[in-house]
Each structure stands twice: as C-alpha cells, then as structure tokens.
Amino acid sequence: MSVTLQLAVPYLVFLGDVPSAVYAKTALGIVQWAPEKCVAQHRFPDCEIDTGLTDMSIAEAAVAGAKSLVIGSAPVGGAIQENWIPSLLEAMAAGLDIVSGLHTKLTDYSVLREAAEKYSVRLIDVRVPPQNLPIGNGEKRTGKRLLAVGTDCSVGKKYTTLAIAEALQAREVNCDFRATGQTGIMIAGSGMPIDSVVCDFTAGAAETLSPDNDPNHWDIVEGQGSLFTPAYAGVSLGLLHGTQPDALVVCHDPLREHIVGCPNHPVPSVQTCIETNLLMARLTNPAVQCIGVSVNTSQVPKSQRQAVLDQISAETGLPAVDPIIDGVEPIIEQLIRLYPSQEHTQLNKTKDGEIA
C-alpha cells in the first residue's frame, strides 16, 4: 500500500486575511522547511503576515507554475472562511488543486465540490486517512527508523525530525522524513494523518508509512502527542508500536510545568519519558535505543540556556541540543556511532584512508 496524500507542487501558499503568526503556523512551517516547493504567497490587502515569498495573484501564480493552493491559515474553529471561497474558486478555475489541513473538510462545501468536478482538480483534505488500512502485525521490517517522542504535545517533534532528516541528507545518508501531521504532510508532499486514523488501525497506519526498505535506509518519523497526556497518549502509543523504531529522540520544553490542557498532570522528567517510551517500544523492537534529547529553549533566558542543556545531558547521559539554535550534529554523531553502516564508515574516513 502506498503512502497517502501525494500533493502536486509547487504550492501557492494562501494566507488570506490571517490576523497573526499564531494562526499562520502552517504557512510559516512550509516556507521554512520546504521553500523549494513554494512558488508564491497569496494574501488579502489588509493581511500583514508575510512568509517572505513573492506576493502573487492567483492568475500570476498559475502562470508561474503553481499546481496547488495550500491553505496556510488556521482560524479559530478550523473552518473554511466564507470570504475565502471566491479565491478558492478562482484557483480551481486556474487548474490548481486545493489542499487543506483544517478540521472542517473542503468536501463539506457543495460549491467547492461542484467546482472541483467542473475543473477536474482535486480537493485534498490532509486530515483524511486512506481507506482499508491494515491493523498492525508487529512483524520485523527491513531498514532503520527514528521516531521523535515527547514529554508533552507541541514540544518540537516536527521541527526535530525535519532537522535530523536535513542533517542526514547533508551527509548523503539515505533517509526520508515521514510526516504524520498536516503541516508535516504539506512540507513533505506526502504522509499519514495519524491523529485521524481510527485507533484500531493506528499501528497498521504507521507500518504502512514506514515499510520495508534498504538495510541502511533511515525513516525519520514525525512524532505525535505524548504518552503522558491523557488526551493523546493513545495515538502516541500506536505510532510508537507501528513505527518499530530503532532510535528515539525525546523532545522537551524545560519551562513547561504541566501537560497542555491538563493542569493536574505535571510534565514528567526527561529520564522518566525515556524509560517509559523505551519500555513501550520494546514490544515491537527489543533493540530500541534513545539517542538524544531535543530541547526547546526558545523562551529560556540566553544566560541560562547552556546550563539547562548541560543538566539534561548530565542526567540522561545523552546529547541535549536545541535543533533550531544549536543544530542536531551531536545527535547525528550518536546515531552514526550506535548504528554503523558501510556508508557511515566511508563518511568517517580520513584523507589518508584510515578510519577517524
């Protein structure tokens, strides 16, 4: 079974009248991590949010080669706004697919369905998983897999895995970023909306997302939720079992005191998170190891940032970095050390032909 949701590129990133960057995270994430897939942005005259892309009308973007209009705005309530409809209809008339990760489906709007049929374009609701997914079977698959897990939700799992995939690709390591959330899918151009899969099929969906591969190939899998949140632990566990990870990276916000939306549930220690995820992951891969900690230090005072990272590293015995500020090279070095391959060995040779 192929991975779901192959998106046509390049994108026209639709901002519309998004009021603030908080509601433009999808657009900003796509432009940061996949600028090569973006041809322009389209925003209404009073919109002050700017991704840095060239502003174009829909007609100009179509001439420039845009294949999909991607809705990069996420309003409160997750619904298509009425004043967006004329722009979406114009884009379809110009031959563009419409791509949305909102909770409300494009296909719920008859005017959009009728236009898509008329112009032979697609309405792609990223949060709709493929049909006929299998249940998980836990059978060992070839290739290697890394999964980001977290002490809580929204602690940087997507950014961490994107940074790791980018760093491995820079070293010419054979790898793919495997997206499991709507923004990640738009960045990658494909993926599995794991939080929309019926729970019985979550592990099977994760197995489908990261199938058999070359023994030295790495799937870098975007994590979702956390085993420590009462709301989303189920999806995290299914993804953990189905991914069958060889390596885990724990993501953590050191300033967060309680689980998002659950003030009576404190955030666990990083070490507790490591131990719990390893215990659960061993069901489908007894050899799993944790190789590093990704720490979101964006709100930590600059004078205290390194001390926070050093303390986490000392407590866990693992490299601790902020992937945006520090990069992920210490985690990459740990991965290559723990999982040597012929390709990695070649990369570590000195000019003399000796192993460094």
What is the CATH T-level fold of the domain 144-346, as seen in this structure?
Answer: Rossmann fold (3.40.50)
Closest of 136, 287, 142, 321 to residue 219, by C-alpha: 142
Q: What is the pTM of this model?
A: 0.88
What is the dihedral sign for C-alpha 202, 72, 80, 107? negative
Task: Note whether 49 and 15 are within 8 A (CB).
Answer: yes
Homologous superfamily of domain range 11-125: NAD(P)-binding Rossmann-like Domain (3.40.50.720)
Q: How far apart are CA 269 and CA 78, in angstroms?
A: 33
Closest of 298, 290, 289, 291 to residue 329, by C-alpha: 291
- Read off the pLDDT band of 12 (50, 70, 90): very high
User: What is the residue extent of each domain of the chain?
Assistant: 11-125, 144-346
Same fold, 11-125 and 144-346: yes
Q: How far apart are CA 268 and CA 228, in angstroms?
A: 7
Please report the pLDDT score of residue 99 as a whole number: 96
25-80 confidence digits (pLDDT tens): 899 999 999 999 999 999 999 999 999 999 999 999 999 999 999 999 987 777 88
Q: What is the arithmetic mean of pLDDT over 131-157?
A: 95
- Read off the pLDDT band of 144 (50, 70, 90): very high
Closest of 24, 12, 199 to residue 96, by C-alpha: 12
Please report the pLDDT score of residue 232 as a whole number: 93
Amino acid at site 180: T
Beta-strand ranges (E) seen in the chain are: 11-16, 38-43, 68-71, 97-100, 123-125, 144-150, 175-178, 218-221, 247-252, 258-259, 262-266, 289-295, 320-321
- Read off the pLDDT band of 302 (50, 70, 90): very high
